Amino acid sequence: MPAAGYNELMARRAEIMKSAIQIDYDQFESGSIAFDYEGMMQKVGYSLDEIKEIQERTGVGNTPVYELRNLTALCRTTAAPGKGARIFLKDEAANPSGSFKARRAAVSVYHAKKLGYRGVIAATSGNYGAAVASQAAMLGLKCIIVQECYDSEGRGQPEIIEKARKCEAYGAEVVQLSVGPELFYSFLQLLEETGYFNASLYTPFGIAGIETLGFEISQQIKGMIGRNPDAVVVTTAGGGNITGTARGLIKADALETEVIGASVDLKGLHMASDEQFNRKSFTTGHTGFGIPFTTNPDRTDVPRSAGRPLRYMDRYVTVRQGEVFYMTEALAQLEGLERGPAGNISLAAAFSIAREMDDDQIIVVQETEYTGAGKHIQPQLSFARENGIKIRFGNPEEEIPGQSIILPEHPSMIRAVDLDLDRIRLSYIRNCLASLQEGEKTSEEDIRYMAEECRVGTDKLNQLIESLEGR
């Protein structure tokens, strides 16, 4: 791409985005660090009941909840006496496109049609592309999905290629790119050329669509056992999943339910590296997205992301690739549910966390996803071998991302690892402070805003800032 053309297009990105979403993000800005998050969320313009109705029109939502009795029994064999919470699963694979992202897409595509757009565009290599394509087909809109799919040698990950196939099956045009900076450039170019709606993962419409998921979990578990769950485990990448689910739980008055984020540990791999692109077996739900989007949530294709994970997570854990593959097989063979690996990240974490909990407590795995030719664990593991990854049974703690995948020899070896939320908060605060102009000081509004983002009081927030300044 010519540098002049790239720079010229990037200079117009705010204007292009405003036209493609019909939200003036400037109205929520303070001119400094703070912005009016709740004011932005109110721009959705639909109540929770209205969103339910929008989703029901296209068969989205009201997905079943299953109690995983056999996995609970297996968990208890590895737990101390009196421990081993009951594990429940919210089966989002029952949505039309096979994942919870149908909830995000339903609201975005409905809103695009309401505003009179002829089509929608989304930049995603994940399940969201299929969700947008499915909803666009139902509502009679054109759809373009832009994917980061290949390395420079033209090798594509099986999971991403599978998702491209699914998007095309729904009638979408799929633009496949190699890993690199051209994704956002191509996305902006298409938005400007077509005049289509930006069905971004990170708009208020997309996040509000997930609120029904959290709300349903509360209502369904109360209907089954008479109270809210003790914990809900949410696969965490860009932050929208945990944000929307937590907001839905809050609206259902499930205020005591612990919200736990879970990501696959891919420490050491760079997500924008052409060389390392195919050395990971997960295209979402991993720390390569989870950590950066938690510490800097506005690194998205909209000016301000509606996904704000630090605002809502009580705890953040990681699991390893081998543990997730193991639990994918366990779910199929013990519960008769074959689901895609990425949706089982939260299952692997929940299996470990359940051991810490009393046996009369309830932990919910927040979502599943469909499986298919490229999303199944066998092509994933075969592709890993082709890229030089060593696969064996053993102790998952010895797994090195990009070099090995270690399946646990025994289910007791599945161990979720807690991340230090204060360290993550410090990184978030550091990024906020770096955005200040030279000589600019934080205002009281900035302090309150960062405290809300970090889920701490202003005194604790000031202590964290002092600890940064003391380094």
pLDDT digits (tens, 9 = 90+) for 303-349: 999 999 999 999 999 999 999 999 999 999 999 999 998 889 999 99
Buried-state track 309-339, b at ≥16 Cβ within 10 A, e below 16: bbbbbebbbbbbbbbbbbbbebbeebbebbb
Confidence of residue 159 (pLDDT cuts 50, 70, 90): confident
Burial of 452 (0-12, 13-18, 19+ CB in 10 A): middle
Residues, the chain, total? 471
When mean pLDDT is compared over 16-25, 202-211, 264-273, the highest value belongs to 202-211
Fold of 58-97+205-418: Rossmann fold (3.40.50)
Amino acid at 132: V
* Phi and psi at residue 457, to the nearest 5°: -75, 165
Q: What is the pLDDT of residue 319?
A: 98
Inter-residue contact 285 to 236 (CB < 8 Å): yes
- Residue 152 — pLDDT band, cuts 50, 70, 90? confident
Domain boundaries, the chain: 3-53+99-202, 58-97+205-418, 422-469
Average pLDDT over residues 277-300: 91
- Find the range with the poorest average confidence among 151-165, 281-295, 374-388: 151-165
pLDDT for 270: 80
> What pLDDT does residue 157 have?
84
Q: What is the mean pLDDT of residues 130-146?
A: 97
CA gap 162, 97 in Å, rounded: 13
Distance CA 167, CA 270 (A): 27
Between strands 417-418 and 315-319, the pairing is antiparallel
> What are the Cα distances from residue 121, in Å, to 27, 55, 68, 73, 191?
24, 19, 37, 45, 7
**Tell me, what's the pLDDT at 3?**
57
Residue 382, pLDDT > 50, answer: yes
- pLDDT tier at 258, thresholds 50, 70, 90: very high
pLDDT at 154 over 90: no
CA–CA gap between residue 450 and residue 440 (Å, rounded): 16
Beta strand 258-264 with 231-235 is: parallel
Evaluate if residue 4 carries a pLDDT over 60.
Answer: no
Region 265-275: mean pLDDT is 83
Q: What percent of the chain has pLDDT over 90?
A: 79
With 50 as the cut, is the pLDDT of residue 1 above it?
no
Using CA atoms, how far apart are residues 368 and 339, in angstroms rounded to an integer?
Answer: 6
Greater confidence (150 vs 392) lies with 392
Say yes or no: domain 3-53+99-202 is CATH 3.40.50.1100.
yes
Beta strands in 62-167 (DSSP E): 65-67, 86-90, 119-123, 142-150
The token pair at 206 is 């997309």
Let me know: does 101 contact 135? Beta carbons within 8 Å: no
Measured CA to CA, the distance from residue 265 to residue 271 in angstroms comes to 13
Per-chain mean pLDDT for the chain:
93
Residue in 289, 199, 283, 279 with CA at minimum distance from that of residue 236 = 289
Higher pLDDT among residues 139 and 7, named by residue = 139
The whole-number average pLDDT for the span 17-46 is: 93
Above 50 in pLDDT, residue 147?
yes
pLDDT of residue 263 exceeding 80, the answer is yes
Q: 172-206 pLDDT, tens per residue? A: 999 988 776 677 888 899 999 999 999 999 999 99
User: CATH topology of 3-53+99-202 equal to that of 58-97+205-418?
Assistant: yes
The pLDDT, as a whole number, for residue 161 is 87
pLDDT digits (tens, 9 = 90+) for 407-465: 999 999 999 999 999 999 999 999 999 999 888 899 999 999 999 999 999 999 999 99
Most distant CA pair in the chain, distance: 67
Structure tokens at 351: 């299996």
pTM over 0.85: yes
